[in-house]
Amino acid sequence: MHVQSGMPAVGRSAFVAGHLGGLTQIVTPHLVDEVLAVTCRVQKRVRKLPSRVVVYFVLAMTLFPGCGYAGVWASLTAGLRSRAVEPSAAALRAARRRVGVEPFALLFARLRGPVATTATVGAFWRGLRLVAWDATTVETADTPDNVAVFKRHRSGHGPAGYPQVHLSALVECGTRALIDAVFGPRIGGEAGQARRLLPSLAPGMLLLADRGYDSYALMREVADTGAHLLFRSKTRHPVPVLQALPDGSSICFLPLPKHSVRYHQWVRSGGIPPQVHGLLARVIEVTIAVTTADGDRRTSSMRLLTTLLDPDRYPAVDLARLYHQRWEAETAFFAFKATLRGPSQVLRSHHPVGVNQEIYAYLITYQALRITAGQAADTAGLDPDRLSFTVALRTLRHSVISADRHSADITAALLDPRRLHPRKRRNRTSPRTVKRTLSPYAYNKPKAGGSWAKRRITSSFTITPRIALTNNARP
C-alpha cells in the first residue's frame, strides 16, 4: 500500500481504511496525500488515524448520513480482511478538527470543472457549452455557534427551524457536474454570491439563469468573461427596443445603473445619443401555451435577454425552448440535497468549521459520482441524462462496505439497460405547491385530482414582436 514519503515505516493497519469504494479511482490516495501536503495537514507522527484516513472517513460520512461516527467507520472497514483500528467517536471528532477545512477545499478545487467532451450528447448547443447557475440553502445543526454565523432565514411564517448555509453553484447542463460552487452566510443575495463564480466562466459557454439574477451590472460582468448569457428578465424593467428582428426578437441596450437615467432621458426625448456604457443585448418576448391530454390549456409569458444577437444562427424560438435547460441546476441540487444527503437530513456538524468541511465533502462526493457517470456515458455513447444518479450512489455505498475499490461495478450498474432512463421523456407539468406543509391549514396545498398535477402535456412557444423606437415615436 502506498505510504507518504518522509513518514516512518508502519504496518498496513494504519492506512487500511483509506478508501472510498468505487470512487477511489477518482479520489486517489496520491491525490489526497498531495492536497494534505500542500495544506500542511500531514500528521506529525504516525497515528491510528492518519490524515489520509480521516479525509476518506469524512467523505464516507456523506454516503451514510443517517449513521453516527461509529456506524460510518463500521461501514468503511466492514469489507477489510486485515483488522482495522476501532477509534472512538471522540477520537474521530478530534481527527476531523485536526485535518480542518483546507484539504477538502483544495480537493474540491482539483475535481471541479466541466466533465463533458465535444462528443457528449446534450452538453452543447450550436457549439456552446451549456451551463447554468442557481442558489439553494443547506440546513445545519441547530447550535448556538451555527446560528451565530449562518443565522436563521426569516419569512412571513417566522424564522426557520434551522440555520441555513447559502450555496450557489455553476452547473454543466447535460452531465450536471459542478464547474464551481461557493457557499457561506446569506449576505449580498444570489447576485452577490454569483459574482464569486465569474472566474469559472469562459468563452464558448452559454450561461442560463432565472429572474433572481436580473441585474444589468451582473449581465455585463458575465459578458466581460467572454461567455454568452441567456437570462430571464423581470417584465417590469423598461427595455426600449432599438431594432426589430425578422424572427420576432429585437435588439435593445442595457445601460449600467449609473448611466440609466441619462439613457432613458434620451429614449424619451430623442436627439443626439448620449455617451453611456452598457450591454447590447437581444430581447425575446415569449408566450408559452401548455395543453394537457384532456384539453385543458394555460398560457404564460416570459422575457428573455441574451447576448446571442444573430437571429439566423440563434433563432428566438430555439432559444426559448433551450431556456428550459436551466432546470438542470435544480436537478443537480435535488441529487445533492435529497438523494445524496437524504430528505429532511441536516448537516451533523455543530460548529461552522465542521459545517464548511462537511459541505466540501458532499461537493467532492457528488462531483466524483458525476465524473464517473460522464465517463460511462461517453464510453457507451449515451446521453448522460439517461444514467441514474440514484443507481450510482447505491452501488457506491455497496462498494464502500465491501471495500471494492474498482469503478467498473459503478459503470456496469449505470449502463445496465434495465436501469437506463428512456431516450425521450414525456413532457409533464407540475404545480408549484407545498406538498408537505408545516401547518394543517395549508394555503397552497395541491388539490386532489387536479388536472395539472403531473399530467402529460404538449407545449408551444410563440414569439411576440416588439416595435422599435424612432425619434418620432418615443414614449
Of the candidates 74, 85, 73, 87, the residue with the CA atom closest to the CA atom of residue 13 = 85
Residue located via cell numbers 462498494: 399
C-alpha cell at 296: 385543458
In the chain, pLDDT over 90 holds for what percent of residues? Answer: 60
Written as nine digits, the cell of 391 is 443507481
What band does 454 get if pLDDT is binned at 50, 70 and 90? low
Based on the number of CB atoms within 10 Å of its own CB, is 157 exposed (0-12), middle (13-18) or buried (19 or more)? exposed
Q: Regarding predicted confidence, which is higher, 10 or 187?
A: 187
93-102, 277-286, 376-385: range with lowest mean pLDDT: 277-286
Q: Examine the pLDDT at 21 and tell me if it is beyond 50.
A: yes
**Alpha-carbon distance 247 to 40, whole Å?**
58
Task: Of 20-29, 211-220, 410-419, give the lowest mean pLDDT range.
Answer: 211-220
Q: Quick one: pLDDT at residue 445?
A: 55
Burial of 295-320, coded b for 16+ CB within 10 Å and e otherwise, reads: eeeeeeebbbbbbbeebeebbbbebb
Give the Cα-Cα-Cα angle 329, 333, 338 (nearest 5 degrees): 150
pLDDT, average across residues 326-336 = 94
- Give mean pLDDT, residues 199-217: 93
Contact 15, 3 (CB under 8 A): yes
Give the model's pLDDT for residue 272.
54
Write the DSSP assignment of 57-116 as a string of letters. HHHHHTT-TTS-HHHHHHHHHTT-SSPPP---HHHHHHHHHHH-SHHHHHHHHHH-S---
* Cβ pair 43, 51 in contact under 8 A: yes
Give the pLDDT score at 7: 38
pLDDT tens for residues 270-311?
655 666 667 889 999 998 888 877 777 888 889 999 999 999
Position 10 scores a pLDDT of 40
pLDDT digits (tens, 9 = 90+) for 129-170: 999 999 999 999 999 999 999 988 777 667 778 899 999 999
Whether the per-residue pLDDT at 443 is higher than 80: the answer is: no
Q: What is the pLDDT of residues 48-70, one digit of tens each?
A: 899 999 999 999 999 999 999 99
